Structure 1
Amino acid sequence: MLILLFFLMLQLPLIFFTELQAICKTIKEITQPMIEEYSAKFKFDSIEFERLTLGAFPPTLQGIKAFDTHESEMIIEPALKWAGNPDILIAVKVFGIRATIQLVDLQFSGIIRLTFKPLLSSFPCFSKIAISIMEKPHIDFGLKLLGGDLMAIPILYGYVQDMIKKEIGKLYLWPKIFHLVLLDESEVSMKKPVGLIEVKVLYARNLRKADIIGKSDPYIKISLGEKGFSKKTQVKKNTLNPDWNETHTLVVQDPSIQVLEFHAYDWDKISSHDKLGMETFPLASLEPEVPKCLTLNLRKNMDDNDSVNQKLRGQLVVEVTYKPFKQDLAVQKETEAMTSGPPQAGGLLVITVHGAHGLEGKRHTNPYAKVVYQGEEYKTKPLKRNRNPRWPDGEFEIGCDKPPLNEMVRIEIMSKSSRFGIHLKESLGYKDITLADVVENRRINEEFRLNGSNNGTVHIELQWLPTASAMPQ
């Protein structure tokens, strides 16, 4: 954050000049409603800009304050001063008579809060700026009409100053916010999880014999097409008619386009696993919370014109249920508070290890994060020689069939040696977190001190996204 802040401050003059036209356009858009209001109030025929440039002198930075919120944002409050030489000419027409008013010697000083969010890994590093003025600013300028300075008239000077400060306060004085959008939301936002798909793999019949001696050792791999996001059943030894009765959950991001993929394999201890068959099923065919039993005819590939698919490769029987997340969490929390007992429906546990600070390894500091939940381990990639790492791959999504009220998750920071030797790995610290508060509050975002470390801390965000069936009917 400090690097980004330093970069922005260095680029302030460059931003001012390169974005000059955009700034002038924004000024016109902002002032247009005010102009229309005062035109109607004082019976002017029209008020419009003839010229609008901000001159050659950028604002100067008098001081700055930064805030750390642990969110995907950066908040700064620069104290700015600007004594510019703008060329602003306004044409006023009243009762058919046209006159021009020139604004000169503009001065501005004040404290502005700038919130850059969300933070991005690529330029321009954020998609939106929220702008607020923290206190009434000092504004001074001259107005020339027919060669004379109108602001030299004391009564008029005071009236104009009060009017401008009042209007600025109505629009931008904290907590009022002006949003400056740099990138469209669709360009920067990743699809967020919207629900879970629960898949009960029941049984398969008449699978293909793959082993020379014996039958097959089948298992089923289930996915939504994305690489790395899949679930597997247990291997059933020496059978062409296996029974599983296993339930697996996958995270859904867009049920209108995502497709369930089922791949049957013959497990092999030595060579690669043989493909027994496959089939797909579109999620768009499912109704929320309504179980659907499917009998899938397995085939070799998804090419309908391939003659090899005419040969039957067995059948797979599954039951699938789409469980969307409840969107209005405030209503859900209120409803649950009025009912006795905790919610029993499942949901998605999202664990994000954003980064760590002050890590110290005895032999090496190549840190990676390890999340341990119910015996399963999830890991980030290690970062070489880094005492203050930020992991871009630190988000893990875990489907749960019930709220993890009595569960605990351990986040451990490990270091992996880049060389061969006896000390390949060492722990840099850990933190155990009970999940009852996460379920109750839906979200926790904090920096925790690492146990087993002198000064190390870890920034962890946990979210609980319950499915809609968590709502009492």
Structure 2
Amino acid sequence: MGFLSSLLGIIGFGIGLPIGLLVGFFFFVYSKPKQVQDPVVRPLEECDTTVLPDLLPEIPIWVKDPDYERAICREIRRQAEPILAEYSEKYKIKAIEFENLDLGTLPPTINGIRVYETNEKELVMEPVIKWAGNPNIILVLKLLSLQITLQLVDLQVFFAPRMTLKPLVPTFPCFANILVSLMERPHVDFGMKVLGGDIMSIPGLYQFIQVVRAFKLMKADFLGLSDPYVKLNLTGESLPGKKTTIKKKTLNPEWNENFKFVVREHQSQALQIQVFDWDKVGGDDRLGMQLVPLKLVTPHETKEFNLDLLKHTNISVHNDKKYRGTIVLELTYAPFREDSTSALSAKFDQMDSIIYRSSSNETLSKAGLLSVLVEAAEDLEGERHNNPYALILFRGEQKKTKLLRKTRNPLWNEEFQFALEEPPLLDKIRIEVLSKRTGIRFRSKESLGHVEINLDDVVRNGRINQKYHLINSKNGQLHVEIEWTMV
């Protein structure tokens, strides 16, 4: 009986299964589906202002608050007002105030981004951000009874911050804190539109120094003589010092040599003078030194200094009383000025006048400062390595940027200055981009391209800021800003 029931069950399953599949197939093919209505979808712009925060309850405040731009402007004012007040006191200006501060409608753009991997629960990014915005920023300078209104125009900001998101969390926005730091100085370029008033001279200093003579120097050589020379440098600067020629076998040398320095902080910097005895073998011996605070020099006047040399200038250490000789110097300085065009030199057009440096014959005959800012390069192509640096060649001088390793898009932002007796109207400046192999190997240097820039336009317009295609490079470009400031 049990066997019979099992047999009938197997037969029933074998017959029922194909019959069931056949019936299901016919129902699937010939049955009509029910009409399904599409859900109602509306764009966010047609929704109420509360819809987006309801969809994303943890969205940041700068997205939810439509008035957040004003909060940013308020923060800029709060941070800038103490700085403006400090400048007002320093340059004897009654007040510097914001008349208007609006960031405009154009957002910043991200031109590239670099992401670093770490073993921590964090994300490190370095975006390259450029903002060529249309802000409306107006400053008012109050000078006694005179009021000058200045408007910033053609503002461009170029910077590469480092952003660290840490720690990473599983909920929106996926991180708990954000740390932002600037690894290099941002580049800011802008024009200035004058809405009324007179143009003031720009803070800055062009320093002329003449080393005249020294007398009764210490005897350093075995025969009772010395081979003296003078080294000059400014305190607070990392640039190398300047040297006079060496006067052989004398204790009363006469140099009458001129030197030029660019002074950034006239009230706080000093000129350091060191007199050395040159030795053919071994290190040079220092015979004495002195310091001259630059605030002792009156603008546009030459002042002579007769300075007794000291063993050292550290006032916390007692100097010995031994007489080391006297050095005679002549110092002159003149503030840099940013002159206006001939139209501005008489009266300002109240709304349409923009500051440019004058291109008059007077301007083209004055001494000044040539500033070269090597910003960055793009798409460099090295055959053997990509460790680029830039070499600036001008009138026999060579200056170079730092070397950046393993990159085809270096960002230098390094500035170099040349003090000149006359405008470089007929000169060219050559900038080469080179790559240097690290370590000691053959063929360690490789040229990645170069540019030659005529300086006539720089002198006549005051400044150029543009990208140049590198000669002998397929796609390489070099971004350079050059400025001429007259005395």
1:231 maps to a residue whose letter is K
Structure 2 residue 159 is the aligned partner of structure 1 residue 119: yes
**Match of residue 325 from structure 2:** 314
Structure 2: 5+ residue stretches without partners = 1-57, 76-105, 112-127, 135-154, 163-179, 189-201, 347-356
3-state SS of paired residue (1:343): helix
Deviation at 1:315, TM superposition (A): 1.0
Superposed, which structure 2 residues align to 1:14-29 within 5 Å?
Answer: 16=61, 23=68, 26=71
Give how far 1:193 is off. Answer: 6.8
Partner Cα distance (1:338, 1:431) in 2:
25
**Does 2:131 correspond to 1:74?**
yes
Q: Distance in 1 between matches of 2:132 and 2:255?
A: 53
Matched, 1:418 2:418: no
**Equivalent position of 2:97 in the other structure:** none
Letter of the 1:196 counterpart: Y
The higher radius of gyration belongs to 2
Structure 1 unpaired stretches of 5+: 1-12, 31-62, 78-114, 131-191, 468-473
| Code of the aligned partner of 2:459 | V
Deviation at 1:360, TM superposition (A): 1.0
Among candidates 208, 217, 226, match of residue 218 of structure 2: 208
Percent identity (aligned)? 35
Q: 2:272 aligns with which of 261, 272, 282?
A: 261
CA deviation map 1:305-354 (0-9, x unaligned) = 75544221111111111111004444699699685466322111100110
**Alpha-carbon shift at residue 29 of structure 1 (Å):** 8.2
Q: What are the equivalent positions in structure 2 for 1:6-45 lying under 5 Å apart?
A: 16=61, 23=68, 26=71
Matches within 5 A, 1:6-405: 16=61, 23=68, 26=71, 66=109, 73-75=130-132, 117=157, 119=159, 123=180, 194-213=204-223, 215-225=225-235, 226-303=237-314, 308-330=319-341, 340=361, 343-392=364-413, 394-405=414-425
More displaced stretch, 215-224 vs 381-390? 215-224
1 CA distance for matches of 2:394 and 2:337? 24
Deviations 1:234-290 (A, max 9, x none): 222222222211111111111111111111112223322211111111111111111
Residues of 2 paired with 1:67 and 1:364: CA distance? 27
| CA 1:276–1:72: 2 relative to 1, 3 Å | farther
* 2:298 aligned partner, one-letter code: E
Separation (CA, whole Å) in 2 of partners of 1:428 and 1:436: 26
* Aligned partner of residue 364 in structure 2, secondary structure: coil
Counterparts of 2:74 and 2:64, CA distance in 1:
15
Question: CA separation in 2, counterparts of 1:280 and 1:235?
Answer: 21
Native 8 Å contact 2:107 2:131 kept in 1: no
Q: Which residue of 1 aligns with 2:447?
A: 427
| CA gap 1:300/1:365 in 2 versus in 1, 3 angstroms | same
Q: Deviations over 1:21-57 (max 9, x none)?
A: 9939849989xxxxxxxxxxxxxxxxxxxxxxxxxxx
Displacement of 1:67 in angstroms is: 9.1
Matched residues in 1 for 2:368 and 2:227: separation?
A: 32
The alignment's TM-score, normalised by the length of structure 2, stands at 0.58
Counterpart of 1:257 in 2: which secondary structure? coil
Contact 2:341–2:359 (Cα < 8 Å) also in 1: no
Question: Structure 1 pair 283/426, CA: closer, same or farther in 2 (3 Å)?
Answer: same
Structure 2: distance between partners of 1:322 and 1:221: 19
